[in-house]
Amino acid sequence: DLNALALLRQGSAPLVLIVVNNNGGQIFSLLPTPQSERERFYLMPQNVHFEHAAAMFELKYHRPQNWQELETAL
């Protein structure tokens, strides 16, 4: 929900938002559906990055690739 990102600028307390991108639709793997149907109808690989969304709302953005980079960003 991109509109929620606009609200982040209005907060008075520091906030860290962590987005974990599992490439779309993995929550549906919990449903009791045949795998072939799940892959065809529920999984939606996006391969998107979120730096543009952060920039639209003037939010700082980091894309750590490992735990050390995450610790540095935090």
Q: What is the mean pLDDT of residues 46-68?
A: 90
One-letter amino acid of 9:
R
Q: Residue 66 and residue 35: Cα distance in Å, rounded?
A: 30
Helices (H) and strands (E) in the chain, counts: 4, 0
Domains of the chain, by residue range, sit at 2-73
For the segment 2-53, what is each residue's pLDDT rounded down to a tens digit?
888 888 888 888 889 898 877 766 777 788 888 888 778 777 777 778 899 9
Rounded to the nearest 10°, the torsion over CA 39, 41, 44, 45 is: 30
